[in-house]
Chain A
Amino acid sequence: MRADASSGTSLLYNLRFRAVLYQVLAVGSIVLVGLYLFSNVSQKLAEQNIATGFGYLSREAGFVISQSLIDYKPTDTYGRAILVGIVNTVWVSVWSVALATLIGLFVGIARLSRNPLLAFLAFLHVEALRNVPLLLYLFLWYALIVTGLPAVREAWEILPHVFLSNSGLTVPSLIWTSAHTIVLLALILGGILGIFVRRRAIAERIRTGQAQVTWPLVALALLLPPVLAALVVQPDLTLSIPEKGRFRLTGGSQLTPEFTALLVGLALSASAGIAEIVRSGILSVHKGQREAARALGLRDGLTMRLVVLPQALRVIIPPLTSSYLSLFKNSSLAIAIGYPDLVMVSNTTMNQTGQAIEGIAIFMLVYLGLSIMISLFMNWYNSRVALKER
């Protein structure tokens, strides 16, 4: 060591010095390339007279967005328009995740069915969806909805007051007011209270060893807040019922063809992956566990719920997380069929303002942020179900 420190030539052979040198070189070259690119960009932007900065977010957008969950009109700002895009992206992702999980769970269990015909159908479902690009399916579902379904004038009434036509699915709906929001919030509060009461009851049972009838208490905790809230704010319960007019359907609320195609496309193709994850999760639980549960006298349903699923979940959750994440990212394909998600709104914004860098930066940051939030949540859930080694 002393020899290394004293002579200059052997400094290169000092491992620690080399480690520092490599890192300085790596960071330095990245900084240099970054500076070079930055100078190019600023020169280009100055030449082409493109403004920089995020000031445009507070300017008037001036374009129409075909569907939005929050109030939006063309006179609103670009910032508001992008918010509409974010909300639309989250909206379609949430519904697709729910639908994909349901279908995936069902198909995954069906693939393990002892009924060979059912297992074969499940196999077909998985392979047909896994081996064809999602984008192709999106185009296909959209084409099927727009060309395969009748025009509004001949809309099919599949259920009373539920119409299916080439401009989407129209269903009766509540006219949403703030009173409804209050009841909904109270319902969520009731849910939390219910879980809390049930937890206390279980803890009590474990402590005393006495089984007590506690479900009325849980039900009370669940229902009291929303009922009270409903009595106080008196929400309007009349439905807006769609009626078939000469050229269009009036009233009710509508699932547009774009939303429906995207929802079906995302949910179906994610369901194939989820089905495989569920299947491998259930297969990973040792047969002896099931037999032991039977020997203890548990019924089939209880065996599944108390013994097989908790152990399968440990295997299922991590890959399920990445499959949710990729569904969320795939929702950006909305732009191909014209559903106004974050990417599509940002794209319109970039075309109008010419500020491509800011536009892309915003939507990349939003995706990155939401992806990180999803994986944090799923990691938290995973740590709860993970094997606790004692």
Chain B
Amino acid sequence: MNLHELSIAQLTRLLEGKKTSPEEIYTSFLTRIKEINPKINAYLTVINKPELDYSMRDKPLFGIPYSMKDTYNTKGIRTTAAAKVLDNYISPYDATAYTKLKKAGAVLIGKTNCDAWGHGSSTENSDFGPTKNPWNRDYVPGGSSGGSAASLAADLCSFSIGEDTGGSIRLPASFCSVVGLKPTYGLVSRYGCIAYASSLDTVGPMARSVEDTALVLEVLAGADSCDATTSQSKPPRYSQFLGRKIAGLKMGIPKEYFMKGMDDTVASTIAKAMKDLQKLGVEPVEISLPMTEYAISTYYLIAPSETSSNLARYDGIRFGTTRRSFGAEAKRRIMLGTFTLSHGYYDAYYKKATKVRTLIKNDFENAFKAVDFIIAPASPTPPFKLGEKVDDPLKMYLSDIYLVSVNLAGVPALSVPCGFTGNKLPISFQLIGRHFDETTLLNIGYQYEQVHGIYERPRIK
């Protein structure tokens, strides 16, 4: 039995029965990291000597090693957002997500690679070299939270905290065959998470099963006085709702998502997953999200506008290096955002996009009058090869076609693995829900997982 292959619930049971110790678990993961990480570059920082606090013994995630995307401030530990601008930045304070996980007894084992500032869909925009997909190292792991997804697929941590602004949790989760949840905007505090686009950014868990995802979400969720955009309502104990009856729930199938441009194997694999869900009693209903074709344009107006503002603070005076260290994609987005916010163009571009955003949000509100959740592919294609899209930014942006609407509408979405291509490249679907209805998504994902079976792991030579 390898400890690094066990779920959170399994590890917790072993710890409670005194069959293992937090040190032993940590060492198992750390040994695996030393062996595998040089091959896939999932971690930017590895913590060799953990702070194991035995007074946390009765806490829900006691002794569980996890990774965080390197966009979270962690006091005394280097935090780079995978950008050279922050090469030597040591956080002077803790992000709320990190504080909450510490208080739950979880142990940070390392910080993961990503596209610099969260800008990308492949992790190739990292200023510290790309992460490679553990399933096939010629392929990208997806992005921007690619290091988090790869660290999970390769069993280099028990769960990971990603960040999703336009699909950055769900795309890599899909490309690496792990579970990823983009929560409702405002469910999880963003305090201390390096900002990309503040009206879209969400902090969410990634894990190797839906149950693990639910266990982590219940630690992360809830109001925070340091983030005024968090909702004041008390979140439920998500794990307690897993296994409740789903028969009779209405599953929306958006016709715009199942049209041209989708890879045949992706289409047939998702179709099979939908059949499996129907066997569990959910009822399919065709729906329409007519504004879908405008989602990418709207996203690539709003997100660069906000990022040009957020990245203006990096002046090299208070912390970080000078603006000369920005990588190509950051510069591209800063300039695009500077343009769309500039005098004479603000109304035509930025303001226009905020109005189209309303229409996209209305699409989902209308759909949820008729259905309880929506199913969609996470990506129109399986993972692509390293280098395949790096020279064509627009082509790269279009990878997020099924993902960005969710961020624009602020609704939650769960990415769940459902199969592989003939070349053994992962495929996932996503379940999209009403605002703050993570409970339904996690429950459906959990029951699908029971039917579909425990996920395979890649063999890394």
A, B co-complexed: no
